Structure formats: structure tokens, C-alpha cells
């Protein structure tokens, strides 16, 4: 089967690109991706009250 | 400008002035803000067994904190008054991560639990407090539904000692219909946490007619055994009619006893029953010689005969963090 020089070059470039893309897949998977950390808000949107020591010592009424 | 939160598998796209599905991650002028950072709505000292955690510093107290908000919306939520509350309607305390650590020391607690709602949604507050706690020689515990993406989970696991994950059911349909979530990320959470050396316990709330069939229980136990190991403690918890599931009856004690029997027959070594008192339901037995090594009544430990984390009779090592 005959092949032109241009076609041969395209084939080589395609194989190279695919190899690099395939080879980088495990590396990309191993690297821990960063996530976007939220910033804290200056004020609480609800109501604030002081924390009482007696309340802290009391077992939580919530499950868990 | 819209922002996308990539903390949990919901990947909420949040419009300016609005919040994500969890209610507490807000788009303020194109900036993603955690509005409950430093503002817990619950701060209490609990027995560690209440989390539930039976293989982590037994008999000790744990400072337990929570902000409002959750990324699940379980119809049976037992803490819905706090988990499904908008921050605008909530009452909270101002407590920096350093203040939380100081509180734990003041209350003589060797560990801090991020609990009651879900620490996944107050992630940055949890992470920063965990870092301060670790520096102060305290341990960190997450009580969670495990609905968090892997990159933030991996970062958090560097400073977390134990997690107790509420595995709702081994059914994606259950997660979608009852919890407005999906199953796969929860399973991945547990596998990743365990692989990173975090102590993992699991709980399963057994709800009549929804996840109480013997095959449901067996599937859950088999998955735990095959993916987390037979040493992973499992807590079957009794359901009580709550929130939007008041039409269902409480879980009969016999169902919980049967669930425990199935789990043991499948090969799990440490199976507990909570919310209902059953003989031996809260005791830790040595899997090698079957001797009771920790005796409990509900959340109260009455006897601990472990020697350096091993059975005093056969010297078999018991999975857990004991000091």
C-alpha cells in the first residue's frame, strides 16, 4: 500500500498526540484536584447570642 | 456572575444573592461564601458513644459542634430543625476555630466532633478547626452522610482521626427519593477515608418498609465487608417517626436484632444496635474468643477490659483508636 509523505506525517503527528493524551490520563487522575474554597462571611445572616458554659456542658438534644 | 460550588456532588450553580442546595454556601457578588463559618448553632459535650463511635476513645466526652445546613434533605431527618434551617432564621454563637479548641480544652474533651447536621457543608470551618485541634493535640471526628467530593475529602482526611458515616441504604433509588442525593459518592467517601488511614465506623438507620428487608441489610453488610473490611464497626439504629415521615412506625426491636444477626452471619466482627436497648447490643466482643471486652448500656460505658487495644484473654488486637 502506498502512502504520501503528507499522509505519513499526519499519521505520525496523530499517533504522537494520542499517545501523550493517553499517557497523561493516569497522572491527571493521581494528582489531587483542588476545589474552590469558599471565603468566610464577615457577619452571620441570622441572630447571634453569647455561648453559656452550662449549655455547652449539657448533652446535645440532637442525634449524632 | 454565577458561581459553581464544587464541594459536593451536587455541583450547585449559584446565582448572585442566592445559596446552594445546602443553604449555607452563598454567591455574594460573584464570590462563594460560607456564611456559617465561625458561627455554630449547637455546641455541646456528648459521650463519644452517642456519635455513634464505639471503637474510639471509649468512655470519653467529645465537644460536638454544628452549624445549620445540610446537602441532603432526608424525609426522615432526625435533626431537621437545625439541618434544614436557613441561616437567616438561625440563632448562632460566634466561635472561631481557636475558640472551639479552647472550649474543648476547657471542657476536658480529648476530641472534637463535627456533627448533628453535616460537616461537609461547613467544610472550611471544619477544616480550619481540625488543623488547630491537631496542633493542640486533640483528635477530630466527622459524623456525616459522606456526601462530599474526593479532592476536599482527601484534604480533610489529613487532619481527621475518625469518621462515622451514616450509610442510609444500599440503594441509589432510596438516596434519590428519600435523601435527594445519590449512593455512589457516599460509598467512595468511606473507601477513600479508610484508604487514607482514617478510623471508619458506619451506621444504618433501619426504617420500616423502606430499607428493612433482609436482602437490603445483607447487601449493605456484604458491601462493608468487601470494601471496608470485616473489622469495620456497624451500628444499626432504630427509627422514630420524624419530620416528613411521621406515618411510619418505629423500628421493632426484633428487626434490629435480626439485622445484627444477618451482619454477624455475613462476617462483620463488630455489630451494634442503637436507639433501642438489646442484650449485648452495645457491647464489644472480641471476634477471636467472643469475650466481652467493653460493656455498655446505651451510650454509657460501664467496663473496659482492653489492654493496649487488645483482648485481655486471647491478646487479639481490636480495631480502633484507644488512646
Interface of A with B in 7-46 (CB under 8 A): 32-41, 44-46
pLDDT digits (tens, 9 = 90+) for A25-58: 655 544 446 788 999 999 999 999 999 999 999 9
Least CA distance to B65: which residue of chain A? A60
Between B151 and A4, whose confidence is greater?
B151
What confidence score (pLDDT) does residue A64 get? 96
CB contact under 8 Å between B95 and A34, yes or no, is no
What confidence score (pLDDT) does residue B270 get? 98
pLDDT digits (tens, 9 = 90+) for A6-17: 888 999 999 999
Any residues with CB less than 8 A from the CB of A4 and at least 6 apart, and which? none
Which ipTM score applies to this complex?
A: 0.90
pLDDT digits (tens, 9 = 90+) for B39-52: 999 999 999 999 99
What confidence score (pLDDT) does residue A25 get? 66
Burial of B246 (0-12, 13-18, 19+ CB in 10 A): exposed
Contacts of B6 in chain A (CB under 8 A): 35-36
**Per-residue DSSP letters for B149-213?**
-HHHHHHHHTS--EEEEE---S-HHHIIIIISS-SHHHHHHHHHHHHTT-EEEEEEEE-TTTS-S
CB contact under 8 Å between A56 and B95, yes or no, is no
CB contact under 8 Å between B89 and A46, yes or no, is yes
For chain B, residues with pLDDT lower than 50 are none
Interface of B with A in 99-138 (CB under 8 A): 103, 106-107, 113, 115-116, 123-125
What confidence score (pLDDT) does residue B106 get? 98
Please give the Cα distance from B67 to B265 (Å, whole number).
39
Burial of B253 (0-12, 13-18, 19+ CB in 10 A): middle
CB contact under 8 Å between A46 and B88, yes or no, is yes
> From the CA of A9, how many Å to the nearest CA of chain B?
40
Amino acid at each position: 500500500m502506498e502512502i504520501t509523505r503528507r499522509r505519513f506525517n499526519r499519521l505520525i503527528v496523530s499517533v504522537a498526540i494520542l499517545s501523550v493524551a493517553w499517557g497523561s490520563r493516569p497522572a491527571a487522575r493521581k494528582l489531587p484536584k483542588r476545589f474552590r474554597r469558599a471565603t468566610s462571611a464577615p457577619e452571620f445572616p441570622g441572630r447571634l447570642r453569647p455561648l453559656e458554659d452550662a449549655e455547652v456542658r449539657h448533652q446535645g438534644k440532637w442525634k449524632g | 456572575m454565577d458561581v459553581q460550588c464544587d464541594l459536593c456532588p451536587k455541583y450547585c450553580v449559584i446565582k448572585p444573592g442566592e445559596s446552594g442546595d445546602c443553604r449555607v454556601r452563598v454567591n455574594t457578588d460573584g464570590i462563594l461564601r460560607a456564611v456559617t463559618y465561625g458561627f455554630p448553632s449547637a455546641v455541646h459535650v456528648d459521650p463519644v458513644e452517642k456519635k455513634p463511635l464505639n471503637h474510639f476513645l471509649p468512655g470519653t466526652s467529645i465537644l460536638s459542634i454544628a452549624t445549620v445546613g445540610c446537602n441532603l434533605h432526608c424525609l426522615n431527618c432526625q435533626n431537621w430543625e437545625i439541618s434544614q434551617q436557613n441561616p437567616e432564621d438561625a440563632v448562632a454563637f460566634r466561635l472561631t476555630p481557636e475558640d472551639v479548641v479552647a472550649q474543648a480544652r476547657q471542657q476536658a474533651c480529648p476530641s472534637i466532633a463535627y456533627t448533628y447536621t453535616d460537616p461537609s457543608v461547613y467544610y472550611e470551618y471544619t477544616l480550619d478547626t481540625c488543623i488547630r485541634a491537631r496542633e493542640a493535640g486533640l483528635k477530630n471526628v466527622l459524623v456525616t452522610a459522606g456526601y462530599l467530593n474526593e479532592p476536599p475529602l482527601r484534604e480533610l482526611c489529613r487532619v481527621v482521626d475518625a469518621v462515622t458515616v451514616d450509610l442510609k441504604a444500599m440503594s441509589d433509588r432510596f438516596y434519590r427519593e428519600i435523601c435527594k442525593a445519590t449512593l455512589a459518592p457516599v460509598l467512595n467517601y468511606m473507601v477513600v477515608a479508610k484508604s487514607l488511614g482514617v478510623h471508619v465506623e458506619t451506621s444504618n438507620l433501619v426504617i420500616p418498609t423502606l430499607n428493612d428487608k433482609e436482602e437490603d441489610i445483607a447487601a449493605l453488610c456484604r458491601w462493608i465487608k468487601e470494601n471496608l473490611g470485616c473489622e469495620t464497626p456497624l451500628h444499626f439504629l432504630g427509627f422514630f417517626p420524624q419530620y416528613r415521615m411521621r406515618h411510619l412506625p418505629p423500628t421493632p426491636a426484633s428487626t434490629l436484632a435480626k439485622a445484627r444477626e444477618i451482619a454477624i452471619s455475613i462476617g462483620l466482627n463488630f455489630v451494634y444496635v442503637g436507639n433501642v436497648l438489646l442484650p449485648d447490643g452495645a457491647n464489644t466482643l472480641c471476634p477471636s474468643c467472643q469475650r466481652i471486652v467493653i460493656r455498655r448500656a446505651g451510650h454509657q460505658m460501664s467496663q473496659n477490659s482492653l489492654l493496649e487495644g487488645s483482648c485481655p484473654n486471647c491478646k487479639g488486637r481490636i480495631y480502633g483508636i484507644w488512646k
